[in-house]
Amino acid sequence: MEKMKISTAQFENKSGDKDYNLSVIEKLAKEAAQGGSKVIAFHECSITGYTFARKLSKQQMLDLAELIPQGHSITRLTEIAQKYKIAILAGLFEKDTEGNLFKAYVCVDEKGLVAKHRKLHPFINPHLTPGNSYTLFEIHGWKCGILICYDNNVLENVRATVLLGANIIFMPHVTMCTPSTRPGAGFVDPQLWYNRENDPSSLRLEFDGMKGRAWLMKWLPSRAYDNGIYAVFSNPIGMDDNQLKNGCSMIIDPFGDILAECRTFDDAFVSTTLIPEKLKLAGGYRYTQARRPELYKEIISEHHQPELHVAWLTTEKKNS
């Protein structure tokens, strides 16, 4: 395993407009490759758009979703990867031949599909089926995993992916700036986005406060630190349907330090170089080696009925 330069991106996707979103993915992938990156990661449902799907019927979801790898979007991603010699990670809705629907995130390189993860805890549309497995694959000798948005909030998912061997976990999101039981949370007024050129300061205060980045900093660096991994976080910027998102896509090292972060309001990406030696120098590596699973294996595997509560969806239903 050698040093590897990678990128993570943010952009304002258009709901249901795959051609437009793929054009932005190509533009940013080209620029990242020209800067020496071997990999670029985009946000959850970056190909299809995300939040608008909460209103779609099953037939509309089936029309939007694609078979993987046969679908048009995987073909286009492969063409882009071949053209610029860069691995691309991006998200979309998937369907299978039986009519089941999934939230998928893929890795594609010059040869085609490398990996596909189905979100373990989907909620944006009631017709989605949860994935039932973890995902592990290699990019240039680095062992990688994928966990989509809410998957990362369940601690066991991150640790399980690490125990399977992951050195890097790609964490695509569409998050922040939504209501929650957490104090200080809530939507950010879209008018601040439309007025960002005249008043960038007010928008930045909202994006960086407890509605946005300040919440992310409560938990995201700890996922990298506790597990001794590189965490690659991707998130959209701007309007996703009628919700404003604050970007701040970032790459965090095994010490929990932010190596690179998108800090503009533009479609953009940041890049950094991953250093293999950090993986074993970090505390998370030692903590993982020091585990005593005989103390808790029965506790952690005890059966329970999962419950998924999403505060902002509940808020929307009350207000509708």
E strand map for 119-265: 136-139, 142-146, 168-172, 230-234, 237-240, 243-246, 250-252, 258-261
pLDDT in tens, 230-260: 999 999 999 999 999 999 999 999 999 999 9
Residues of the chain below pLDDT 70: 314-320
In terms of DSSP bridges, do strands 87-95 and 101-109 run parallel, antiparallel, or are they unpaired?
Answer: antiparallel
Q: Which residues pair with 136 in a beta bridge?
A: 145
Which H/E stretch holds residue 10? strand 4-10
Tokens of 320: 């509708």
Helix 200-208 to helix 213-227 angle (10° resolution) is: 40
The pLDDT of residue 316 is: 66
Distance CA 91, CA 45 (A): 4
- Number of domain units in the chain: 1
pTM greater than the 0.85 cutoff: yes
The pLDDT of residue 310 is: 82
Distance CA 289, CA 102 (A): 34
Look up tokens 């691309």; give the residue: 88
The pLDDT of residue 301 is: 87
Burial class from Cβ neighbours inside 10 Å (0-12, 13-18, 19+) for residue 313 reads middle
What CATH number is attached to the domain comprising 21? 3.60.110.10
The pLDDT of residue 56 is: 97
Distance CA 134, CA 68 (A): 17
Give the contacts of 267 (CB within 8 A, at least 6 positions apart).
Answer: 9, 10, 11, 12, 24, 27, 28, 237
Distance CA 314, CA 319 (A): 9
The pLDDT of residue 311 is: 73
Helix 18-34 to helix 72-84 angle (10° resolution) is: 20
Q: What is the extent of the structural domain holding 238?
A: 4-319
Phi-psi region of 52 (alpha: psi -120 to 50; beta: other; left: phi over 0): alpha
Which SS3 state, helix, strand or coil, does residue 101 take?
Answer: strand
Vertex 263: Cα angle to 38 and 202 (nearest 5)? 160
Note whether 287 and 251 are within 8 A (CB): no
- CA distances for 142 relative to 54, 137, 274, angstroms: 35, 8, 10
CB count in 10 Å sphere of residue 215: 18
Which SS3 state, helix, strand or coil, does residue 234 take?
Answer: strand
Amino acid at 153: N
The pLDDT of residue 187 is: 97
